[in-house]
Chain A
Amino acid sequence: MKPLVPVSTGARIMLGAGFFAVFIGAWAAATYSGWVPPLFLADPGKTLIAGWSLLTEFGFAGDIAVTIARVLSGFLIAAVLAVPLGLMMGAFKPVEAFFEPFISFARYLPASAFIPLLILWAGVGEAQKLSVIFIGTFFQIVIMVAVTAGATRMDLVEAAYTLGARSRGIVRRVIIPSSGPQVMETLRLVLGWAWTYVIVAELIGATSGIGHMIMDSQRLLDTGQMIFGIVVIGVIGLVTDFLFKALNRALFPWAVL
């Protein structure tokens, strides 16, 4: 191995899959050997069987759909409000000076700590779940987008000025397009966090969703079902990540090689 020398696509896929194999192998070794008792950790086979019965007998697909819908709607509401605000903050320093201190404070408030309050305010319905995701993601997106927009290359802004652009043109035709790829990167990252918040919200006072299923399985000490639920979240995360990257490549052909 030499520092920073790239690997071929084939080798990259092999290596990436290789660690999954190592991980599952270690899991199998620890459980089938009896080193870890099944009460604490189900073996890979039992986990798959538990997953199959969840999907076929207990309507787990419905839970998955409910959770995905919650994540996406909460995240979209946050993004639709946060991205424009972040862009305005990045572009106009007085706007940034007005909002930035509060948002920097608010983004450290742990979303999960709001759950008891939100149950009080919004009950245990969908509004509460979406609120948790909103609180957990909105402030983060605002700050990161503001930083991105504020870091717009000054020489491009100046070039636009000498071509006759005014404030409106600078924002619309320089700051927004130049921030595009980094804003999408931010959304990709924060969507990952939204998954954490939805599960936390579903662990408390929910009647459906992946988090609710995991909570139910704990009462039955069914570690197989719990692990299957967690793995499903990981797989969904992997898929959305992949889709986001593909979307970025399609939206910003100028930015990638």
Chain B
Amino acid sequence: MSRKTLQISGVTRSFPSRGAAGPMLALQPTDLTVAPGEFVAILGPSGCCKSTLLRIVAGLDQPTAGQVTLDGAPVTGPGPDRGMVFQSYTLFPWLTVAQNIRFGLAERGLPEAEQQAIAARFIARTGLKGFENHWPRQLSGGMQQRCALARALANDPEILLLDEPFGALDHQTRELMQELLLEIWEDGDDSGSAEGRKTVLFVTHDIDESIFLANRVIVMSARPGRIKADVPVPLPYPRDWTMKTTPEFAALKALLMGEIREEVRKAALS
């Protein structure tokens, strides 16, 4: 259950550059507050540092200035309270599906029986029943990402960080994965109430994906990145695929396309 507020305050990131021009600014000072249970999509052209922002929240990258806090406690490094699913396939190849899902639980030293029970629940939830003892290399891309999602969820993090998790999948698989993720998130702690839902930060460059999943879309500008727009998505949950054909969806899409087109042009031409 996520009950902690994520606060990003004045977070800036620049990278040292080889030229005499000094460090290159990648992320302009950024402020963002994410309330517990919010599903926030971070939308932007490639290279706008949306992944960098997510990695800073994860603690995998350090901001040049500013800080990230979780209920007031500053984030200094990665931790199990911020689970992450990466765009690349990051299942441990030497562990089976079930062992991968239990990785974080074993790290915490949970009793064997408890580990197994939790893993079994998430294996069932992500439709991996029957594949518990498969090696990652025997799975399709979609199944690997389902397993990665189960691995992150099994740890019961405060916040789920998703860095274009479906970016490498084909279109059809991606849509199925979006529906699966949405279902899991909507169910929350199985009470089905909004209070049990996890906080999610979802990085994507796909406008449809951001509207379909999130209740709030943050649009990032081209590099050096900054938050250009903060667009609420007032469509009610639970959602299903038919929502993608509603006029409300189309109106939001038009709005976001307008916001992002200009940035994509800048990113592509720079």
Stretch at the interface among A37-45, A158-166, A194-202: A158-166
| Contact present for A169 and B93 (CB under 8 Å) | no
User: A257 CA to B138 CA in the complex, in Å?
Assistant: 9
Q: Select A155's contact among B79, B88, B95, B155, beta carbons within 8 Å.
A: B88
Closest B residue to A181 using CB positions: B94
B93 touches A162 (CB 8 A): no
B103 near A160 (CB under 8 angstroms)?
yes
Q: A158-B60, A158-B78, A173-B103 are in contact. Are A163 and B83 (CB under 8 A)?
A: yes
- Interface SS of chain A: helix, strand, loop or mixed? helix
Asked if A164 contacts B60 (CB within 8 A), the reply is: no
**Chain A residues with a Cβ closer than 8 Å to the other chain, count:** 21
Looking at the assembled complex, report how far the CB atom of B159 sits from the nearest CB atom of chain A, in whole angstroms.
11
Closest to A159 in B: B90
Residue B131 at the A interface, CB < 8 A?
A: no
Q: Report if B112 contacts A (CB, 8 A).
A: no
Name B80's contact: one of A156, A163, A254 (CB within 8 Å).
A163
- B interface majority secondary structure: loop
A164 in complex: contacting residue of B58, B135, B136, B155, CB < 8 Å: B155
List chain B residues, Cβ under 8 A from A253. 135
B103 touches A162 (CB 8 A): no
Q: Does B18 contact A (CB under 8 A)?
A: no
Chain B residues with a Cβ under 8 A of chain A: 58-60, 77-80, 82-84, 86, 88, 90, 92-95, 103-104, 107-108, 135-137, 148, 151-152, 155, 161
Cβ of B104 and Cβ of A163 under 8 Å apart? yes
- The answer to the question of A180 belonging to the interface, with a C-beta cut-off of 8 Å to chain B, is yes
Contacting B94 at CB < 8 Å: which of A159, A169, A254, A257?
A254
- Among residues of B, the one whose C-beta sits closest to the C-beta of A161 is B78
Whether the pair B107, A173 counts as a contact (CB closer than 8 A) is: yes
Are A156's CB and B82's CB within 8 A?
no
- How far does the Cβ of B84 sit from chain A's closest Cβ, in whole Å? 4
| In the assembled complex, A177 has its CB within 8 A of some CB on chain B | yes
Q: A113 near B: Cβ within 8 Å?
A: no
**Using Cβ atoms and an 8 Å threshold, which residues of chain B touch A180?**
94
From B78, B95, B108, B137, contact of A162 by CB (8 A): B78
Pairwise interchain contact A169-B92, C-beta atoms closer than 8 A: no
User: CB within 8 Å of B: which of A8-50?
Assistant: none
Question: Cβ of A159 and Cβ of B86 under 8 Å apart?
Answer: yes
Q: Please name all residues of chain B whose beta carbon is closer than 8 Å to the beta carbon of A257 when the two chains form the complex.
A: 137
B-facing residues in A147-195 (Cβ within 8 Å): 155-156, 158-165, 169, 173-174, 177-178, 180
